[in-house]
Amino acid sequence: MQLKNYQNTAIKKLLTRSKELLEQSGEKKIIFKAPTGSGKTIMTAEYLKQLVDDREITTPLAFIWTAPRKLHTQSKEKLERYYEDSRALECSNFEDLTDKQIDENEILFLNWESINKKNKNTIVKENEKEFYLGKIIENTKEEGREIVLIIDESHHHATSEISQDLIRDIAPRLTIEVSATPIIQSPDEIVSVPLEDVKMEGMIKKSVILNANFKNILSGDSLKTALADGTDIMVLEEALKKRAEIAKTYKKEKININPLLLIQLPDRKTQQEDRIKDEIVRYLKDKHGVTTENGKLAIYLSEEKENLANIAKNDQETEVLIFKQAIALGWDCPRAQILVLFRDWKSLTFSVQTVGRIMRMPKPDMGHYPKEILNHGFVYTNLANIEIKEDMARSYVTIYTSQRIESYKNIKLESVYRLRQREKTRLASMFIILFLDEAKKYNLEKKIEIKGQKVELSFISGYEADSVDLLTKEEIKSDIKIDTKNDVDLQKLYDFFVRNNLSPFYPEDRSIGRVKEAIYYFFKMRLGMEYVDHFAEIINIVLSPKNIQHFMNVIDSTKEKYIAETQKRDEKLQKLSDWELPEMLNFGGNYTEMKAKKSAMLPFYYDNKWKTEEAFIKYLEKSDQIEWWFKNGDRDATFFAVPYVENGKTKPFYIDFIVKLKNGTIGLFDTKSGNTIKDAREKSDGLQEYLKKHKGITGGIVANTNSKDFSGRWMCYEKQGKDLNPYDFSNWELLEI
């Protein structure tokens, strides 16, 4: 699979620090902190592969992977698939260790329950056969192997005490705790994956919105919601309406995804939980026609399982799932987008783990969608006692919603933003044009032979032999027959050829199709051979021993040109000719309500980061010339930006404030103070260049002459950036609005 940028960065950090710690004496610990949905298991799998492949590590390594309940089984299956071709590491269960030791580059997968000493039936109990964990660890170390311990998702099941006991008993050379909320104390290193990076890659949703359209108030860690007064049925009805709205949007956008609503019951089993479940099942049937019989309702409980087959498929028919946390640990369904928690939970501490099931994007390769409703998860609850303590949850869980004022009239500003370049990891249609250009430069049509060309067996066996890893499980025979007249066989050989020439691009179907299409176009435009009429002939020509290297050469040079072109495009900004203030903005627990009558978004929420901005807002609020003001953000096309040039590269400058004056003029102002003024020279030039090109708009860098308490005059800079001086306001203009 194609790893994301943040994944490669994290793996590199893990590997570098691990090598450093392995060179030191004693037992070492690393915390690998990564958000839910970031691909923790895949990152860890690749890290372990690179660890055992590294030639600088001379000590043989054996591995133990621990996880709660059945999660270790799921992890084992994921890693087995990941190592299927490379065979870099062997994945084993305890009963597989017939030689009573963990071999070099072998991972032993265990669940927490099996190594808890309080349970007498566990694998840690000594026995006459000497087939218990302690003896296996002893044998492994006697063979000269160091043990690396991976503690996966420890927060779900293991207390700090249990994990410390485990580390003491195993005495690993290196411990890696993998979690979104780790518990190990005093680690030697912490490697973290920023939540924002995972969002930027489109792997997870932009945020999870709590009780949309209901007033929420956060005081300290405690959250009060207006929906707390509602009944369970009222909460469910709000969630069902949101699911229908999301489903309608997917359909309108022609995206084949059926959003799933999750109803999560507490883990405890009492008559109260049974009563609630029965009431919900009856209501879904009577009011919405959602039943287990028609496949629209699924149930995932220890005593009842209904309609779970293929439920994770994006277009599967199930609309609602009732489940419990304990039963479904490690279960992933990326199309899940709405979570319902009823009052019978009594109290809840919100964390990223709580909303983890609705964080993932259903198609991470596609990333975020143009319609914002599809980029967020939604939680509905009538819980009276909600706490938000975790820092990550405070920024990710949206508890406040701000709406654009009704009196707002369109302003249609020209804005810029940087487009996320998916072409870096997969091929776009541009590849076809570049291929035809490269084929012409290479003189491909004159170098290849057309008549009497056929695929030969020697080519196939020779090609496969290039990758020994792929032949590990294969029995190679000398009497294999390839039917070059069979279109299906030819197509498979052709796909195999293209797939093996795609690196460094991910060999997904669309990218394979681009290369095949490029070759078909070449035959049509240069040789007059239509794909429909000459399918078999074209493939035989391409894959024949006399021609194959020529096509590989052109594909290779095209990939180089393609990479260079995408890098150029990455530096270009996209234009938006009619940007408007967003209709709605969502905010997390890091924001608080700030009284503001003239804000274009009400209520106005602020993170209290910058005193200069707060002071400027107070200045704007006092003005009788202002119709409204908007505090701008700093990301993607949602917010307004002007282009500016820094170090030869064009970048987006997200202005702090957009102000609408009563006379119709638009003001663009960016607040600075002290030394930050001199850092704004290039941005100031970009803003002034923008103002020259657009009539009816004014603005500039603004600062107060008294940066300590902002009691001085507000000044605006409108001249060249090179003359911008933070200590001299003589060439600034007094701001009068």
Could you report the per-residue pLDDT of 488-502, keeping only the tens digit for each? Answer: 778 888 888 888 888
Closest CA to 599 of 624, 631, 625, 622: 631
Q: Is residue 379 within 8 Å of residue 352, measured between CB atoms?
A: no
Q: Is residue 587 within 8 Å of residue 399, measured between CB atoms?
A: yes
Closest CA to 129 of 119, 139, 141: 139
Q: Which two tokens stand for residue 228?
A: 């707390």
Q: How confident is the model at residue 460 (pLDDT cuts 50, 70, 90)?
A: very low
- Confidence (pLDDT) at 270: 72
Q: Is residue 132 within 8 Å of residue 126, measured between CB atoms?
A: yes
Q: Which two tokens stand for residue 382?
A: 């009538």
Dump pLDDT digits (tens) for 625-637. 999 999 999 888 8
- Confidence (pLDDT) at 126: 77
Residue 4 is given by DSSP the state: P
The percent of residues in the chain predicted with pLDDT above 70, rounded, is 90
For 58-64, what is the mean pLDDT?
A: 94
Closest CA to 199 of 377, 79, 47, 427: 377
Q: How confident is the model at residue 732 (pLDDT cuts 50, 70, 90)?
A: very high
Taking all residues of the chain, what is their mean pLDDT, rounded to a whole number? Answer: 86
Q: Which two tokens stand for residue 533?
A: 């009429």
Give 588's contacts (C-beta < 8 A, 6+ positions apart): 207, 394, 395, 396, 397, 398, 399, 400
170-173 contact pairs (CB < 8 A, 24+):
170/64, 170/137, 171/27, 171/137, 171/147, 172/27, 172/64, 172/146, 172/147, 172/148, 173/22, 173/27, 173/28, 173/59, 173/146, 173/147, 173/148
- Confidence (pLDDT) at 459: 42
Lowest mean pLDDT among 171-180, 291-300, 328-337: 328-337
- Confidence (pLDDT) at 72: 83
Q: How confident is the model at residue 511 (pLDDT cuts 50, 70, 90)?
A: confident
- Confidence (pLDDT) at 472: 42
- Confidence (pLDDT) at 465: 41
For 392-412, what is the mean pLDDT?
A: 89
Q: Is residue 174 within 8 Å of residue 159, measured between CB atoms?
A: no
DSSP string of 307-376, one letter each residue: S-TTTTSTT-S--EEEEETTTTTT---TTEEEEEE-GGG-EEEE-TTTTGGGTB-S-TTT-S-SSGGGGE
Q: Residue 458: which region, alpha, beta or left (left: phi > 0; alpha: psi -120 to 50)?
A: alpha
Lowest mean pLDDT among 52-56, 410-414, 500-504: 500-504
Lowest mean pLDDT among 37-46, 84-93, 164-173: 164-173
Q: What are phi and psi of 362, to 5 degrees?
A: -65, -30
The percent of residues in the chain predicted with pLDDT above 90, rounded, is 51
- Confidence (pLDDT) at 154: 64
Name residue, tokens 């450093």: 20
Q: How confident is the model at residue 184 (pLDDT cuts 50, 70, 90)?
A: confident
- Confidence (pLDDT) at 191: 95
Q: What CA–CA distance (Å, rounded) separates 259 from 320?
A: 9
Q: Is residue 280 within 8 Å of residue 322, measured between CB atoms?
A: yes
Q: Is residue 54 within 8 Å of residue 17, measured between CB atoms?
A: no
Q: Which amino acid, 26?
A: G
Task: Decide if pLDDT at 84 tops 90.
Answer: no
Q: How confident is the model at residue 367 (pLDDT cuts 50, 70, 90)?
A: confident
Closest CA to 389 of 443, 334, 351, 445: 351
Continuous segment of H or E residues that includes residue 222 = strand 222-225
Q: Residue 289: which region, alpha, beta or left (left: phi > 0; alpha: psi -120 to 50)?
A: left
For 429-457, what is the mean pLDDT?
A: 88
Find the farthest-apart pair of alpha carbons in the chain and give their distance in angstroms, rounded: 92
Q: Is residue 577 within 8 Å of residue 414, measured between CB atoms?
A: yes
The number of angstroms, rounded, from the C-alpha of 402 to the middle of its chain's C-alpha atoms is: 26
Residue 266 is given by DSSP the state: P
Task: Decide if pLDDT at 466 tops 80.
Answer: no
Task: Decide if pLDDT at 467 tops 50.
Answer: no
Task: Decide if pLDDT at 725 tops 60.
Answer: yes
Dump pLDDT digits (tens) for 149-162. 999 876 555 455 66
Q: Is residue 691 within 8 Å of residue 681, measured between CB atoms?
A: no
Q: What CA–CA distance (Å, rounded) separates 181 from 194?
A: 13
Which range has the top average pLDDT, 266-275, 344-353, 701-710? 701-710
Q: How confident is the model at residue 563 (pLDDT cuts 50, 70, 90)?
A: confident
Q: How confident is the model at residue 463 (pLDDT cuts 50, 70, 90)?
A: very low
Q: Is residue 369 within 8 Å of residue 199, measured between CB atoms?
A: no
Handedness of CA 438, 441, 442, 447 (dihedral sign): positive
Number of Cβ atoms within 10 Å of the Cβ of 190: 15
Domains of the chain in start order, with CATH, are 5-198 (3.40.50.300), 202-404 (3.40.50), 413-417+576-734 (3.40.1350), 423-571 (no CATH)
Lowest mean pLDDT among 77-86, 320-329, 625-634, 668-677: 320-329
Dump pLDDT digits (tens) for 663-684. 999 999 999 998 788 889 999 9
Distances (CA, A) of 195 to 6, 36, 39, 362: 10, 9, 12, 18
- Confidence (pLDDT) at 5: 84
Lowest mean pLDDT among 249-258, 343-352, 519-528, 608-617: 343-352
Name residue, tokens 């699979």: 1
Q: Is residue 617 within 8 Å of residue 594, measured between CB atoms?
A: yes
Dump pLDDT digits (tens) for 231-264. 999 999 999 999 999 999 999 999 999 999 999 9
> What pTM value is reported for the model?
0.71
- Confidence (pLDDT) at 636: 82
For 59-86, what is the mean pLDDT?
A: 88
Task: Decide if pLDDT at 95 tops 70.
Answer: yes
Give 90's contacts (C-beta < 8 A, 6+ positions apart): 103, 105, 106, 107
- Confidence (pLDDT) at 421: 53
